[in-house]
Amino acid sequence: DGVVLAAQEHYSWGNFVEIDHGTDADGLRWITLYAHMKSCAVQVGQTVTAGQVIGYLGHTGNTTGNACHFEMQVNGVLTEPRYFTAYTGSDAAELTQEKADEILAEAVRRAASDQTTAVDGAAALSGVDLFTLPVAPPPQVSGYAPENGHSGIDFAAEEGAEVYAVAGGIVTAADYDVEKGNYVVLDHGGGLETEYQHMKSLLVSAGQSVVQGQVLGYVGSTGNSTGPHLHFEARQDGAPADLTGTALLAE
């Protein structure tokens, strides 16, 4: 059972559905994602029950044939579904107490850290269903890895490509920095901010209101950059936030 967080098309996942199953007695939040569907049969905000049809198998998005890509997250941590479902494939695995403790301890550790999950960020945006990509797909990306000093995501794109606001908000900064180059910061409310760096030029100014999908500027290689790309960051209450679990992008 749960509530539908997402039901839409994505360049990599194709038609996909994301379901929030709530928080259990141990304070762990469970979320599942179903991708590459021919079509979705549910809507954002809809309550669903176990076994309900949420869509139909297909091969939309980045896939080579009919398949259902399935993910499970515990407190924002990707978790192997084979331990928690009735899956009986050749690599099915019994959930021993030792393995359960290991998986759930990691989820608790991650939740207690200063990082926030994509779900937390999305919840802060009342009235906004999902984030959009900040550059046109299919971008190449380097992942979110704050533990390695990279608290953002790098999108490879051609110089001059449009950079889009992933959600509506207020421009709190539109300036130049020796490291960031030309950059923009958006305040989306609820403590959530997004930042766009290394742009060739900017089209917005501080204090301006923008809507989701509005062009903020153009991809460049200004500041401390080795080539044209967009460095994108999100912060929840000042702490790095990972949006990769939403429709922003695939892994």
Q: What is the mean pLDDT of each run of 10 residues along the chain (251 residues)?
A: 85 85 79 93 90 96 90 80 82 82 73 44 41 70 62 85 89 94 91 92 91 90 90 86 54 32
Q: CB-based contacts of 116: which residues, under 8 Å, 6+ apart? A: 76, 236, 237, 239, 240, 241, 242
Let me know: does 191 contact 124? Beta carbons within 8 Å: yes
Q: What is the pLDDT of residue 34?
A: 94
How far is residue 249's CA from residue 35's CA, in Å, rounded to a whole number? 12
Q: What is the pLDDT of residue 198?
A: 95
Structure tokens at 66: 């009919």
* pTM reported for the whole predicted model: 0.52
Q: What is the pLDDT of residue 119?
A: 41
Q: What is the pLDDT of residue 48?
A: 94
The CA R_g of the chain, rounded to the nearest whole Å, is: 19
Quick one: how far is CA 179 from the chain centroid? 25
CA angle 76, 78, 80 (to 5 degrees): 145
Q: What is the pLDDT of residue 125?
A: 37
Q: What is the pLDDT of residue 47?
A: 92
Domains and CATH numbers, the chain: 2-112 (2.70.70.10), 140-240 (2.70.70.10)
Q: What is the pLDDT of residue 110?
A: 61
